[in-house]
Amino acid sequence: MTEVTQKDPLVLFMPSGKRGRFPVGTPILDAARSLGVYVESVCGGRATCGRCQVSVQEGNFAKHKIVSSNEHISPVGPKEQRYASVRELPDGRRLSCSAQILGDLVIDVPQDTVINAQVVRKAATDRAIERNAAVQMCYVEVDEPDMHKPLGDLDRLKAVLEKDWGWKDLLIAPHLIPQVQGILRKGNWAVTAAIHRDMDSSRPFIVGLSPGLKNEAYGVACDIGSTTIAMHLVSLLSGRIVASSGASNPQIRFGEDLMSRVSYVMMNPDGREAMTKAVREAVNGLIGKVCAEGGVDRHDILDMVVVGNPIMHHLFLGIDPTELGQAPFALAVSGALQYWAHEVDIEVNRGARLYMLPCIAGHVGADAAGATLSEGPHRQDKMMLLVDVGTNAEIVLGNRQRVVAASSPTGPAFEGAEISSGQRAAPGAIERVRIDPETLEPRFRVIGVDKWSDEEGFAEAAAATGVTGICGSAIIEVVAEMYLTGIISQDGVVDGAMAARSRRVISNGRTFSYLLHDGEPRITVTQNDIRAIQLAKAALYAGIKLLMEKQGVEHVDTIRFAGAFGSFIDPKYAMVLGLIPDCDLTEVKAVGNAAGTGALMALLNRGHRREIEETVRKIEKIETALESKFQEHFVNAMAMPNKVDAFPKLAEVVSLPERKVLTDDGSEGGGRRRRRSRE
């Protein structure tokens, strides 16, 4: 190899920012590979696949001390001309396998190259994920059989893969061995091998073999939630999300929440098998759906990444989850796992691999690991709180110095269960609530209707869906609004004296309720509803408080709500309720299906698999049930926002009411005093 000197051209690759000096005449693809910059190439530098497209950024880049110009790259040669005569090469794009370095360059590696004309939906995430997939497509031309060199067809294939691509010590998926000869002859001795290697220390596998040039391969990122299964179908070569979809988890028929499903397994001899079969069938159905949307053959799927909470993780893999239903909540396996996809009955390419992210603890699963990978508390200096609110809330708190995690039994109240008019988020469900502080009259929005209930035309617009109940995001808002307007006390008791001010406050014997919708059905917020929300939010806050104590911090810098429910929570109302600790509201954000994004990252870049495996090993797991202070924090968190913790950041943007103490029947039970956070 030619020795590099300071006089050699300096090349900077974007967006990775990697740079190095290379002798004049070095192909850009070779330069990229030597720096570890991921540039796809299927054809091995023959300029036939078009995957290795790059573009030159022109100008004086003073920060990098580089003057970059198209004159510093070799002119379009015969191979590129031949490619352009068959397939259009976009303006400004060059094939990096053919273009050579002549001077200093800033090279842009497009993240959106799609060679085959697929139907591509808008990306489910706008995040740029550097590609380093576990699957690489390698086109080779194999020597024909020779009576004088009696080497088998498979052995000659391996030899040329080593010569052209550097793959040594290759294994091959057993199902391919009987097919090798037929595929080689069908391709006239030119074939594309799909090579799968996850860890650099592992032996690479030939997992797919196609006659001629095969210019595409796909992967699936799947998040198996207890309520919903979400999936992305992705091009492993371009990184583009071809299709995304979701479906209900059919296990719901065995039990709404996780513990009821564990109970079903314990009480029914064939319960585990039935739930495993149901979830695998649902995953297969969803694969069919995204493939139909994207115009993709499901047998072109060569890699999968799956995440899920511990019970979903175990049931999908066919593991009995009974031990997770009782202390000490032992996982059958906590580390990352590798399978052949067909071993778990997934109908994709026979050679497809399946990777499952590690679980963090008995009730902090691979989904929490995926969310951690996505949001990266371990990659920053700020103290980040990451919380996935569900039947069992998963909480991660930390920064690059230290990360701790726990689960907290919030119960199903936030999903509408245990609430008198509660329901899941569906058309007709109330999702937003505001209460006038003077008149105590409510206004609300329902899913599927653009107008608020007090706007002209609402009744007509809502005729199709009706007003059917109240979903989780609105439950949080209505209780917070009732507190802010004085309908309930800090301790969550409905103030019976308010009945004199508004017909909305109605008596139910010894307690009072708030009438949210006076129609059919009649929707009220009862004292029991408020208690259910208090219990749920107190459990979550107590878990968070324990983690803050473990970290030795009194406040957090940034908060991320993960999961579908978190996407619809208004951060202000979550804080008023005391669901989360005090924080600058501009630093509280919903991040959607962060677990699915983490799965996507692990699918497109095997380096992220090593990152989360290492991170999970370092995360400290806190078992809330064993912590003596949990009950104390829980009792304090029953109050709104909290009995002892101050909320100065919240008080800057929300006028928190004076504290009033009421007895359980809603009558005045003591004097008033101002909240500590406002003193």
HSE value, Cβ hemisphere, 13 Å, CA-based, for 535: 14
pLDDT tens digits along 95-149:
999 999 999 999 998 865 544 333 333 345 567 788 889 999 999 999 998 888 8
Q: What are phi and psi of 411, to 5 degrees?
A: 80, 180
Could you give the CA distance from residue 366 to residue 363 in angstroms, rounded to a whole number?
Answer: 10
Compute the CA torsion angle 555, 559, 562, 568 (nearest 10 deg).
110
Q: Is the dihedral of CA 371, 372, 374, 376 positive or negative?
A: positive
Model pTM score? 0.85
Residue at 21: amino acid letter: R
Rounded to whole angstroms, how far apart are CA atoms 162 and 143?
13
Which whole number is the average pLDDT over 147-162?
Answer: 91
How far apart are the C-alpha atoms of 207 and 133, rounded to whole Å? 14
b/e sequence 413-422, b meaning 16+ C-beta within 10 Å: bbbbbbbebb
* Rounded-to-integer distance, Cα 661 and Cα 658, Å: 10
Q: Tell me, what amino acid is at 128? A: A
Q: CA angle 132-134-135, nearest 5°?
A: 105
pLDDT at 275 over 90: yes
- Closest listed residue to residue 103, CA positions, set 128, 145, 74: 74
Q: Does the structure show a pLDDT above 50 at 678? A: no
**What average pLDDT does the structure give for the chain?**
89
Digit-coded pLDDT (tens) for 601-616: 999 999 999 999 999 9
- pLDDT confidence of residue 116: 37
The rounded distance, in Å, linking the Cα atoms of 523 and 420 is: 8
3-state secondary structure of 383: coil
pLDDT at 677 over 50: no
What pLDDT was estimated at residue 665? Answer: 60
Cα separation, 68 vs 591, in Å, equals 38
Q: Which domains does the chain have, with CATH numbers?
A: 10-113 (3.10.20.30), 135-211 (3.10.20.880), 218-356 (3.30.420.480), 370-412+533-652 (3.30.420), 421-524 (no CATH)
Query: Between 564 and 255, whose confidence is greater?
Result: 255
* Tokens matching residue 278: 């149901």
- pLDDT category of residue 497 using cuts at 50, 70 and 90: very high
pLDDT at 674: 37
Hey, how many other C-beta atoms are within 10 angstroms of the C-beta on 4?
Answer: 14
Q: Tens digits of per-residue pLDDT, 537-590? A: 999 999 999 999 999 999 999 999 998 677 788 899 999 999 999 999 999 998
Q: What is the pLDDT of residues 518-537, one digit of tens each?
A: 988 999 999 999 999 999 99
Assess whether pLDDT exceeds 70 at residue 515.
Answer: yes
Smallest CA-to-CA distance from 363 within 399, 402, 321 is with: 321
**pLDDT attached to residue 123:** 40
pLDDT at 53 over 80: yes
